[in-house]
């Protein structure tokens, strides 16, 4: 029976990119090839190959949502992938053999819509057989900052939570195939999140079949946890634009919103928690936003981070000139 891999196999795609990079050395061809493979737009900022040191570096690797979801939203953002490859294996056997492969994934996102459909399930998928893409990694190093889980509720409103997983240079040795690369990265990323009960986790623990899908916090946004229930970030956007954008978002979440533009606060029930949003004017062109959330009187930082993530998406995607 034909085995079909459902979902975006993030690092499988990365390996495909690496292979294409070494053989084609063309950013445009690589992007087109990977976009075709996963059925969602892929962009790569820079592909850097140093033949002298046998080093390959991919910068600013982005995967966008597939059709059926907001295709303007990032599904994955990996600032850097760095590998040291064995040139002899590549030329002689056309086999990818990495002495070292370091992957930095800034955030991973799984989104579930109102019909309980996952964005990762809507991607075009291919059967991957280790024989089709010979691979060996002596040392795999993984760094993951955040996992984002976005769920569209029955009322059509989103509930977003951010998990600060903070995986730093976790090392795995002697990786024999793409499937094991994917399984290790995804399982480690979602181990301590609610996503472990989803199909993505179950698939990751089966015989090499992995469901996976990342989406990202915009690269320009540095969202920082500053307290037990609070997240803050700053925007290079004027106060009025930021405040009005947040107010519209809050009213879409709940019509019963209390707000005071002069004092810079918006508060109300959002995502099942009591939320306070503070908007602070730093300069005419810079504004800081803080979000705190409590549920049953207890701090709810994951909800606060999720709301700030949604706000950030909206502000960062405003048309040029409106900021």
User: What would the DSSP string read from start to end of 150-198?
Assistant: EEE-TTS-EEEEEEEEEEEEEEEEEE-SHHHHHHHHHHHHHTTSGGGGS
CB 142 within 8 A of CB 173: no
Closest CA to 59 of 103, 15, 10, 8: 103
Separation CA 310–CA 258 (nearest Å): 19
Output the CA angle 61-64-65, nearest 5 degrees.
150
Check: pTM over 0.85? Answer yes or no: no
Per-residue pLDDT of the chain (323 residues; tens, 9 = 90+): 444 343 344 455 555 555 555 555 566 766 776 677 667 788 888 888 888 888 888 899 888 888 888 888 888 888 998 989 887 766 666 667 889 999 998 988 878 888 877 777 676 644 455 555 567 889 999 999 988 888 888 878 888 888 888 899 999 888 876 656 666 776 787 777 776 544 444 444 443 433 333 333 333 345 555 555 688 889 999 999 999 999 999 999 888 999 999 999 999 998 888 999 999 999 999 999 999 998 877 888 888 888 888 898 888 888 766 66
Token pair belonging to 248: 């519209």
Segments of the chain assigned to CATH 3.30.310.220: 224-316
* DSSP code of residue 39: T
Q: What is the pLDDT of residue 16?
A: 56
Where is 137: in which H helix or E strand? strand 135-152
* DSSP code of residue 274: E
Question: At 140, is the secondary structure helix, strand, or coil?
Answer: strand
CB 223 within 8 A of CB 230: no
Q: What percent of the chain has pLDDT over 90?
A: 21
The pLDDT tens digits of the residues spanning 247-287 come to: 999 999 888 999 999 999 999 998 888 999 999 999 999 99
Give the CATH fold of the 224-316 domain.
TATA-Binding Protein (3.30.310)
Where is 268: in which H helix or E strand? strand 265-270
Separation CA 208–CA 9 (nearest Å): 11
């Amino acid at each position: 029976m034909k085995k079909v891999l459902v979902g975006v196999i993030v690092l499988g795609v990365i390996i495909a990119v690496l292979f294409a990079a070494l053989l084609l050395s063309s950013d445009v061809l690589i992007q087109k090839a990977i976009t075709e493979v996963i059925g969602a737009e892929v962009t790569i900022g820079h592909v850097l190959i140093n033949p002298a040191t046998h080093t390959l570096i991919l910068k600013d690797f982005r995967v966008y949502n597939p059709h059926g979801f907001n295709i303007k939203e990032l599904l994955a953002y990996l600032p850097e992938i760095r590998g040291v490859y064995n040139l002899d294996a590549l030329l002689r056997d056309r086999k990818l053999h990495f002495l070292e492969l370091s992957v930095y994934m800034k955030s991973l996102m799984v989104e579930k819509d109102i019909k309980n459909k996952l964005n990762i399930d809507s991607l075009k998928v291919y059967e991957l057989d280790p024989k089709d893409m010979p691979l060996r990694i002596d040392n795999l190093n993984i760094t993951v900052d955040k996992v984002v889980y976005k769920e569209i509720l029955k009322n059509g409103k989103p509930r977003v939570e951010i998990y600060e997983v903070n995986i730093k240079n976790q090392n795995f040795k002697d990786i024999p195939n793409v499937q094991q690369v994917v399984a290790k990265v995804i399982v480690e990323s979602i181990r301590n999140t609610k996503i472990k009960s989803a199909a993505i986790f179950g698939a990751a623990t089966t015989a090499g079949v992995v469901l996976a899908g990342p989406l990202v916090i915009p690269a320009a946004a540095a969202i920082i946890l500053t307290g037990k229930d609070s997240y803050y970030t700053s925007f290079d956007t004027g106060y009025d634009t930021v405040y009005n954008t947040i107010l519209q978002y809050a009213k879409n979440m709940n019509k019963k919103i209390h707000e005071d533009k002069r004092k810079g606060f918006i508060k109300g029930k959002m995502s099942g928690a009591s939320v306070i949003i503070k908007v602070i004017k730093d300069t005419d062109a810079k504004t800081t936003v803080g979000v705190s959330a409590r549920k049953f009187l207890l701090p709810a930082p994951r909800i606060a981070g999720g709301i700030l993530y949604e706000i950030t998406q909206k502000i960062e995607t405003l048309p040029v000139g409106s900021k």
